[in-house]
Structure 1
Amino acid sequence: MIRLILNVLWLIFGGWISGLLWLLGGAILALTVVGLPWTFAAWRIASYSFWPFGREVVWRDEMGQFDVGTGPLGLVLNVIWFIFAGWYIALSHLVIAFAEAITIIGIPFALKDLELAKLALAPVGRTIRDKP
């Protein structure tokens, strides 16, 4: 019940904006064709941005799903992502997390924004799963 309340509050007070921006970013990446390797990572982040409580971000190989994104190619894709997009997207999530944390009641939301910042740094090879 607490997860539902937190997710609804998250969605109302900004999660929908974050999720829509990640969806838009993924769509723009898909249109460029060069950005296709990062499109699905952006859309996974969008789903997490809409409804983060009760879910966690993990590397795919932790789930026994080894794929290209977890190997050397994934590392290269994450480095390119970090240079061209990841660092400033993560910085925006950090700024938002700081603003939420100083309100004290916003600390749970700040922690989720910190997870989003970490995810924005290197999204390739990660997936979202429900917490047990």
Structure 2
Amino acid sequence: MKLLGNIIWFVLGGFISWVSWIVIGILWSITIIGIPIGRQCFKFAKMSAAPFGKNIQFSDRGSSLILNILWLFFGGFVMVTEEITLGVIFCLTIVGIPFGLQHFKHAKLALLPFGATIYRI
């Protein structure tokens, strides 16, 4: 069932999220200083391509606070806005609610990507 959900997800809107994470990751990776942030974006691109069967655990450590603030101003706000918009659009239909909930999960991830860990369910 996870495989079917991931295929439908990618065709109906996950592709947009995946491409956005890849583009942001490439832009961050242009500079040497931004490579760690770009690598994190590529991890999340992989997760946004097939989110069913994966969950996100957020850390409450303060060590990633500076990176999260920097991320929010230089790419995070755009990603959060995109994910929330796609989530609302999908939740307008009954069939799209599971996909909308995945977009909302990605919006939280786009808001606080550093200190987050992706794991399989």
Same-fold status (TM-score > 0.5): yes
Q: Which has the larger radius of gyration?
A: 1
- Provide the rounded CA distance (Å) in 2 between the counterparts of 1:41 and 1:125: 10
Residue 78 of structure 2 aligns with which residue?
88
The C-alpha deviation readout for 1:102-127, integer Å capped at 9, x for no partner, is 11110000000001100001101212
Residue 67 of structure 1 aligns with which residue?
none
Residue 44 of structure 2 aligns with which residue?
45
Q: In structure 1, the residue corresponding to 2:78 is in which secondary structure?
A: helix
Q: In structure 2, the residue corresponding to 1:33 is in which secondary structure?
A: coil
- Provide the rounded CA distance (Å) in 1 between the counterparts of 2:108 and 2:116: 11
* Structure 1: 5+ residue stretches without partners: 62-69
* Residue 31 of structure 1 pairs with residue 30 of structure 2: yes
Q: Taking every aligned residue pair, what percent have the same amino acid on both sides?
A: 34
- Provide the rounded CA distance (Å) in 1 between the counterparts of 2:76 and 2:26: 16
Runs ≥4 in structure 1, deviation > 3 angstroms? none
- Structure 2-normalised TM-score? 0.90
Q: What number of residue pairs does the alignment pair up?
A: 121
* Structure 2: 5+ residue stretches without partners: none
Asked if the contact 2:24/2:75 (under 8 Å) is kept, the reply is: no
